[in-house]
Chain A
């Protein structure tokens, strides 16, 4: 009988992998992702040079040197204009003649309150305004602290907190940043949903096209369902593997090459530092697989009990809710992975794929909790397979109205 299951897996896999849609998405998605990282950096590096030339008239005599490094890091090329009588009038004239884009005037008041005046032809963007304001305030603060004898630069670098671990937590050094954890969680949720829905659609298509009668006369419904799920699962793994491979290639080899070729893109180095490590990636695949097997079973049952797309749209809603609920807790799971509420929720098998991975990405989750969640998910996979298999068996050959909950329960009992 495994011959049959294999035939179904093979058909499902090849039909999908060969489709234009699959090839397009598989190739386009990582390119879009990489473009989202590289393009802004590239644009920033090109900048609008003339616009960012900044003349500074320093009436305080102490602020200019302190500002230079901050402003240059912020993308400005600065030059100092000596203070003299009528300097402002003079520069205004030059600006309106178009010789310069604008200039910044600092004076004694700036030292006391952080206030300064920017004369410019173009209204500055919010980000630029913030950059300038914080650089000026910081320079003024630094000066004031130093006058009073404090180590201003250390304190302004937001100090330093050394971590001394009181327990040995092994060699786990994965410590990605919040946004990587968040993006990863959302991605995990999306691929589980997309592929579980694919299983539902495939089931529905077989049912509405009636080919299922021919197939069921040659094999057990349970084998057909198993073949479909494994086939779609194999497709999803293929896609994820291609994405990961392209990601590693793009980030590991592409970015250093890019930086070597265009030194002005050096800030792409930051991307390398926030990427998740190998163990986190493996856990990602693990959580995806278990999540997929749990939800694809449920979605297969939904597909089997419906007769039209519209019906399926409605019927899938409860299942989708179960998948969405943990999303509400993702932020907390990443920020405070050991909080009792998220710990408890993340051990609930249907929530585990999204929440447990988020917690792990957040850091500090004990290994036994990860292990336990996999054991519970494994048991749930079997429970779902049993339940869904029974609904599937009856539903796949049933025409007409969608069953009510009591009817569904009768299917499960009688199948």
Chain B
């Protein structure tokens, strides 16, 4: 089963609901040991894709494999899954609930109980172990759900919008745990519509828009490859020099202006114009575009809609 370097592999997967195509001819691979973000606005097909990986939905066409073999065999012991719509047995005590979840993943009860206690302690929930799930705050419930996902120490974590509904502090806590878990060698696939989260966490990103894959790449390579496209400038004086045939449009980010260049344009031309103008240039800087900018570049602004965060707010949070 270790004959495959991929934790997840989708080949030509298509899923339709009636006349609506939720996922269309989707090829997608997650190499072992990476953190991969599945990005896209609401309704783009992220959850449907994840549900097909988890065997909750069956693709109309195409094939899903996990660790190079039949997903139905590997799923139970090797995969931890946090669904988008969270749920717990409300009347159950937290520790018992976690023990049960460990048990159905094939752990012995005593072992499951021990690991659950450890995790509760790590996340500061020990005092709540004997409380009913319904008595916990939403943030605490989400932590409990996350514990339920990792109890059996899966090699692959699949998290559907893991950060939604968490306050910034708990987002950081969860992010820390995900990193730590990844450091042990696990593969992590998570979906999000929060680009800045993906930008901080991912090694690999896959973007989907309107049921189709628009981008699938290593984040570092992607950023280098996309770097040519954006120039950050700060200057005093007239601004007419920044507009030219090379520039597609201009955005303001953190007080600086980002010049978004057209494909194949040379930034040197702009710099030359600037030097000749009466403006005093304080900064001329090729910047890494934000994931949001990359996404817009590939999917078109209309595809993002109101789901992706605007770059300014994005940068502010990051």
Q: Which residues on A are within 8 Å of B, measured CB to CB?
A: 3-4, 7-8, 11, 15, 19, 206, 209-219, 397
- Given the contacts A214-B101, A218-B104, A397-B56, A15 and B85 also touching, CB distance less than 8 Å: no
B83: chain A residues within 8 A (beta carbon) = 210, 213-214
Contact with A along B76-117 (1 / 0, CB 8 A): 100101010111111110001000110111100000000000
B75 at the interface (CB under 8 A from A): yes
Q: Chain A at the B interface: mostly helix, strand, loop or mixed?
A: helix
Q: Are A209 and B90 in contact (CB under 8 A)?
A: yes
Give the residue name and chain of the A residue nearest to B103 (CB): A7
Name the one of B54, B76, B79, B87 contacting A210, with C-beta atoms under 8 angstroms. B87
- Given the contacts A3-B106, A15-B92, A219-B104, A214 and B87 also touching, CB distance less than 8 Å: yes
Interface size on B, residues (CB 8 A): 26
Q: Are B100 and A211 in contact (CB under 8 A)?
A: no
Q: Are B87 and A213 in contact (CB under 8 A)?
A: yes
Give the residue name and chain of the B residue nearest to A14 (CB): B96
CB of A74 to closest CB in B, whole Å = 54
A15–B100 Cα distance when bound, in Å, is: 12
- Given the contacts A3-B106, A8-B104, A214-B81, A209 and B87 also touching, CB distance less than 8 Å: yes
Give the residue name and chain of the A residue nearest to B75 (CB): A217
B91: chain A residues within 8 A (beta carbon) = 15, 19
B85: chain A residues within 8 A (beta carbon) = 210, 213
B149: chain A residues within 8 A (beta carbon) = 214
- Given the contacts A7-B100, A7-B103, A15-B92, A217 and B81 also touching, CB distance less than 8 Å: yes
A7–B90 Cα distance when bound, in Å, is: 18
- Given the contacts A7-B100, A8-B104, A210-B83, A217 and B89 also touching, CB distance less than 8 Å: no
CB of B116 to closest CB in A, whole Å = 14
Q: Are A217 and B79 in contact (CB under 8 A)?
A: yes
Identify the 6 closest CB pairs spanning chains A and B, nearest first: A210-B87, A211-B87, A209-B87, A7-B103, A213-B83, A210-B85
CB of A12 to closest CB in B, whole Å = 10
B55 at the interface (CB under 8 A from A): yes
A4–B79 Cα distance when bound, in Å, is: 16
A214–B79 Cα distance when bound, in Å, is: 11
CB of B132 to closest CB in A, whole Å = 11
A384–B132 Cα distance when bound, in Å, is: 35
B92: chain A residues within 8 A (beta carbon) = 11, 15
B148 at the interface (CB under 8 A from A): yes
B56: chain A residues within 8 A (beta carbon) = 213, 216-217, 397
